[in-house]
Amino acid sequence: MNSSIPDIQCPPTAGSHTAALDLAEAACRTRGASLTAIRREVLELLYRSPTGVKAYDLLAQIKEARPGASPPTIYRALDFLIEQGLAHKIGRMNLFVACRHASHQIPSLFLVCPKCSGVTELQEQSVMSALSNSLAAAGHRLESPEVEISALCPMCVGAR
């Protein structure tokens, strides 16, 4: 029962997510992985965006500092970040988004707004336990910590 871990709002202003980045770097270290410069830069771009971001938009931004960057540059960094649980991919819309949660003890619900691409990551015990029961009854096993749902965000619900 009970409510979700509160949303962490991301300040859209360009600025230092230094603390979060340093935490992420430390977390990678403890797992024997390393958050290199490129990976850290990509993660920072994700932190700065309150909405999901497209891979080629990330590429365009990274190119400003690294003109040689190419699609693999971005996709490799994203793969790494996803492996490390620092980012998620929203498959329906080919969007990537930073994870704002410390851990995924509970799989996350991603509410993706079809109007504005806003992404809200929720952790809802009630939904997930209902889901687990249904899956188990059907003989399936949840494989990904990510459940995507297309849902208008509060802003876009209002702007009707």
Q: Does the protein bind a copy of itself through residue 72 (CB under 8 A)?
A: no
**Shortest distance, CB of residue 86 to DNA, whole angstroms?**
13
**Shortest distance, CB of residue 133 to a copy of itself, whole angstroms?**
7
Stretch touching a copy of itself by CB under 8 A, among 15-23, 49-57, 67-75, 126-134? 126-134
Q: Does the protein bind DNA through residue 63 (CB under 7 A)?
A: no
Q: Which is nearer to DNA, 27 or 38 (CB)?
A: 38
From 8, 23, 65, 142, residue interacting with a copy of itself (rule: CB under 8 A): 142
Chain positions 82 to 121 lying near DNA, rule: CB under 7 A, are 89, 94
Site string for a copy of itself, 84-103 (x = CB under 8 A): -------xxx----------
Instruction: Evaluate whether 30 touches 15 at the Cβ level (below 8 Å).
Output: no
**What size, in residues, is the chain?**
160
Closest by alpha carbon to 37, among 2, 4, 69, 5?
69
From 2, 111, 116, 119, residue interacting with a copy of itself (rule: CB under 8 A): 111
Instruction: Evaluate whether 78 touches 89 at the Cβ level (below 8 Å).
Output: yes
Burial degree of 137 (CB within 10 A; 0-12, 13-18, 19+): exposed
**Shortest distance, CB of residue 88 to DNA, whole angstroms?**
12
Q: What is the DSSP string of 112-139?
A: E-TTT-BEEEE--HHHHHHHHHHHHHTT
Whole-number Cα distances in Å, 10 to 93, 99, 133:
21, 11, 33
Instruction: Evaluate whether 90 touches 128 at the Cβ level (below 8 Å).
Output: no
**Shortest distance, CB of residue 158 to DNA, whole angstroms?**
26
128 phi/psi in degrees, rounded to 5: -70, -35
Residues lying near DNA in the complex (CB under 7 A): 1-2, 33-34, 36-39, 54-56, 66, 68-73, 75-77, 79-80, 89, 94
